[in-house]
Structure 1
């Protein structure tokens, strides 16, 4: 957020190794249509906020606005186009891209999970991997390419190949051995 890089968290973690880094100030932005707002939000929240923050050791990632009305209010200054995790209109809550990105991570990366080393040699992907408290390995992938791509996750001598759809947020979960 604020045109910074998640790599800036590295210096904070080095200076304060016993303090968790919480990424909290970011929010999606409304664009021309609801469909483009959702698509742009899913892309940005996944590839520019969630995955890089976790790659650089964030303890938690949350967005700034939990619930807003359809015009982005209540608004007291600052971002006039920000979106919330949900939009409330007429007593109904609509889940926005932020909701799905955060819920996706929360479902597969439970409290107590530890980030593990991982890499990918495809520029259309962002990824981060964890070992969960049960010993499962979880790899969260975001693809910004235009075609379905076969991704192979290597864990020791084992190989797991999965198709990853274009412009998607995908999780690979490998059961504990």
Structure 2
């Protein structure tokens, strides 16, 4: 669960609110916004890097793909999740749509997967609500071109770092395959 940084971010937020008071309030909600967006970004990267994990899920619940090709569906879901996470982080008006869409997915997952999934997703729901009601004073990027460029750079960097980390880990865990 530690690949979902939102759990750590929420804990640090609560500690900082208790110890820091009003002087750190703006900083702490930005920490929650960052860790929430990063957690969703990581979920999107998992869909790009390990789609087989989601194919197993679709074998049991094939209706989730809505009749689409599974490979396309998993990659498209990863892209949508990445876009929503980016907009949540960037703080523009599209961030509200991203919050709404991700909240819908997180809450709707309770229907097929039950209350255990609700417990796991509860620490996503609360930060989504907190970020929804705490708008950013200054947006991350001031222009549409800047936002688009920053999004593309962030996507490329996340994919590059994730793939590099994956292959380094794979290399060190399976040295026998590379000799």
Same fold (TM over 0.5): no
Query: Higher helix share goes to which structure?
Result: 2
Give the alignment's TM-score, normalised by structure 2.
Answer: 0.28
Give the alignment's TM-score, normalised by structure 1.
Answer: 0.28
